[in-house]
Structure 1
């Protein structure tokens, strides 16, 4: 069957398409309208964050570089050989100075590390030949510089100089060497690091060719720049550049990242034109796919509604669809077919139940016996037993008649506590006469409860369980059964106890009518528990407490209904 789109019969399709189109087209069009005004602001925000992240990363790299140099100096200062050499008296002869130079060179080679290292004694004038070996063009041997290093408490000082040979700046780290015993300065350690070595630590984005990373001192004078000719010039921001900076060390040096703004933001007009075309193309594709999506949702529903109309006429057939669909439509159709199957099964079960009901009614009628026939027959047996002086038989027949009369009391389900106890007493007395096994019975009943209304036959099955599984397993005359009846707020509590062997395993009433439990304890407890719960809810029923070798205890809780 061919279905035309946007026809009057496809109202669900039309509504869904219009609503979904409005909910999608308006945001897309609004996004395209706002993109031109927001693009520049967003790009600037992103570029600023990019610069901050990059300068933070490079600042961490440079600071780690500085820390590594400081660790190298710490390692050098820890040398006991260096301490010994610097604390010796200054050489007086050329041979003593040569010996000093050789020893110092050996120590420097052992602990120099990757950076150019110099060790300068405190009194430089006493080491003229040693000082000639040091490149004084880079390290300015000024007393003030040494005094500044001596003033630092366990730290060094960074400074920068211009190297005329390489035409680039050089960074120098000096740190005072102190005596381990007197903590007095005995010399200076100096590390020389070319600008190129320091700039190798920078991580620059490869996509920006004009990206610049530079360092300035506390007076904003350039100390490191891709263009070395700008060394020691005042740094100033110019228009058209985006920058970000971060402090490096205690000398007040800063790291600055700069990139042309145009390289970050690009051409905003090109972005706008691109966005417009993207929006137009997106709307066209959205319209096409939206119609396909809506049709895939509404077409199965329309067919399902048509099938439901047939079901109302009585045709309980399954709705044919693609079983491979796992979405909500597939779940809906599967649920609908399951409902149809359930309805068909329910109809079949209803027919079977009606047939079973009629069959059971016939069987009940066929097996009905007039209770008066039992009573008359039992009276005749009682009369003959008394005639033959068989008083035990007469008493047993009388109590059995009372039991039957109580059980067949016009199919009434309600009785009183008094009559229920009497029924249980009759059962126990019959057991005494029938089995010739003596046992003792104790009844403790609250007088306020004897006229209260209870459901019938709740004590006799429990008494039967106590006799069968408790008393019968004890020696002659040792058995005891106690019944306690009391009132607790709005409930009646029945407690039946025996001194039998009890049960070594816990008893679960919820599964009490399985085969194993029935063989061990019978079905009386489970039936009483179920009847109480069906009548009054899960708060009522029986609770079992069994201690191996110490007896069996059943507590029955019944609500107070009314007096009868």
Structure 2
């Protein structure tokens, strides 16, 4: 119903504002709903993207650590293949040959100094002697402790392959409180692969942390490297020193170690986990040959905040665009409704009979075409009305000429009837005068075939006509003329005064039963020539006058006297007020004609 009301008042300037507000409200509502869906979709996409990036990060860390372990493996092979070291170990004791021992010691020091990620080297010979070289002061270790270590038999079984043990696998090779990884392998004779001893190369935690520093600086991300027993080798954050976690008070180490068990059997994986009302993204990777596990824990709240920030920014942008759209909609609606308003006003003028073209600056192809089409329609209507008027004038003129053609024989019949009566009466002189007057009358009446003559010529015809009638009725009437010279040259349809004079004679004076006077006058008025025929005969009642002046009276077509003449004048001048009758019963009649000399001079 509301939209129907708007449709009825489309040209109202307020409608554009209402429509703009309506669409603005729709934009805000749709934006709010879209934001909810966008949030869900964005979170899912973000979770997937962040998980993929996190897996890639773990893979990068894993690749770098694998490279470091492989380099340590290669370096360990270089150490155990050293000829001096092989010579000492074949003798059964590292202390058997001091000169050779000095060479081995020098070689190992250079090795530690040239390889920054190695902190110390231990060698156990077959005589249970331990020889060690380190960047710092090394602790004293009983040989039996190495032999009794859990990993000792595993090293023997590897037959030259290496194993990795966190913090020496229970054997203290370093004085530092930081974690370290021990690469342990069997030293075999290069000639006969006999067992010569055990080599231990220790890699400190700082070497692993350097890998993290090259990968990520995000303080909100926790990344840990776990050994095959799910013990933490190192992490991006030093959570060992601060057991409380800034993210909700949980122990991130515990979650990482738990994740190592949860993802058993999978090389890579990720999942969302809610801990103490906080969502965390946990990512896992274990693509290596030594069963180490790489775990990252990211608090998703931070991503959610970033997401909300983006949503808020998007909402503000949409709101701003909505305001701009609102303003533009109002302007555009006015561009549309203003021409329509002018068109409606012009249409209202058409109802009043006023046909005016609209002169407005329309924007847009459709509006320009509409206004142009409307103006063309108005112009065509004007042309059509003018054509109809012209056709009506032509029709009325045709009727006028028909009346004129009928008047000529009418007068002739009456005149000939009079001549016949005089001839029968033996009035030869009167017949001669009547014929002469008739000749003069028709000479003026013919007017070389012209239907429009001057007022002077029309007065002359009336004089000849009344002269004829005076011969017929010498004692019936008298004639008085009052003609202004200034109006004699103006043109009128011929035979408009003669029928009026005839009517005054027959229906005025003769019907009254006594003699009377006919007055013919012509003089100038205000832009018109006023012609009048007056008698003092029988006169007419108001009903008779109304009957004569009624242009729809069917008797007009049958009357070639007063009614026909009045109708001719109305047709010719297109003015119903061109004729007026003043009359009273017993007092006479006066007929006035108002001829517009400006329009009909030609």
TM-score, normalisation: structure 2: 0.39
Larger radius of gyration: 2
TM-score, normalisation: structure 1: 0.42
